[in-house]
Amino acid sequence: MNDYILSAESIVDLSQDFTDDLGVRIIYSNYELNEKIYQDDFGQSLDLKSFYDDMRNGSCPTTSMINTASYLEYFRNLAKEGKDIIHICLSTGVSSQYGSLLEAFEILREEYPNQKFYPVDSRMASAGVGMLVYKLANFKNSGMDIDTLYKWAEDNKLHVISYTSNSNLEYIARSGRISKMAANIGGMLKIAPLIEIGDDGHMVVTTKVRTEKKLIQTMVNRMKVNAINELDYSDDIFITHADNIELVNDIVDLLKENFKNANDKIKIFNIGPTIGSHIGPGAINLFYWGKERLK
């Protein structure tokens, strides 16, 4: 079967128009804010400026993983089209919903024995998943069959590299990445932690930098060493932010100065509510294709 469905989750932190143009199907997760349930649908249910302003004003949104029943409802509607399905899931190091995906696919294989259901644990989050999905969608749209696409995803997913930070340590402390005491001290010293996702899909604070200017310089310096082809890098660069476009503009200038072959490959998106609930307003993520992931 040459025609198949490429599917992902709204934690890809792209945009509805972008995924629609690629032909990627999306399942939305849910979050709760001020006692109201919303879909994480790229800011369509609640605009992201309002979401982050609410967090700045003290609101504490909560998120829930996509369960087996939700996956089944979503995939049964897709399976009725009679096509094979490959789905790219949020990292097992960030959420346990990959287990729910496996349970759903096990049931679907019994219901649709003539169709293929391929799950991919991205070992990544936010637009790092989105960048993998973007590459896979381009391969699919160029005619790559599902078996080859699945193998490429498994063989190459750990080459997606991520750098994440937020100079407001309050939100990182809420997520448990650092202690509240460390957040208080770091805030006084204007220290921003640099967070990476390792090859096991877990988030790790790898260094701490004073001032946002030094932070983005550190991100770019690490990319210069680890990017495929280093300074001759010419592949995609994705940046996501949580209502912090000024810092995005600064890092874009720095990237264009250092990676001249990738100037037209830089894409900027918003961090959606699922990821944003845990990292908070002001956060920024940088994603690229690199030689190796943190061990």
CA–CA dist 212, 250 (Å, integer):
10
CA–CA dist 123, 7 (Å, integer):
16
Q: Specify the CATH class of 159-289 in words.
A: alpha beta
The per-residue pLDDT for range 218-239, each reduced to its tens digit, is 999 999 999 999 999 999 999 9
In the chain, CATH 3.40.50.10170 covers 4-157
3-state secondary structure of 190: coil
In the chain, CATH 3.30.1180.10 covers 159-289
Residue 14: burial class (beta carbons within 10 Å; 0-12, 13-18, 19+): buried
The per-residue pLDDT for range 131-172, each reduced to its tens digit, is 999 999 999 999 999 999 999 999 999 999 999 998 766 665
Question: Which whole-number Å values give the CA distances from 37 to 9, 40, 59, 60, 64, in the listed order?
Answer: 18, 10, 14, 13, 10
Residues above pLDDT 90, as percent of the chain = 81
Place of tokens 């399905």: 85
Say how many Å lie between the first and final Cα of the chain, rounded: 37
Helical (H) or strand (E) element with 11: none
Q: Specify the CATH class of 4-157 in words.
A: alpha beta
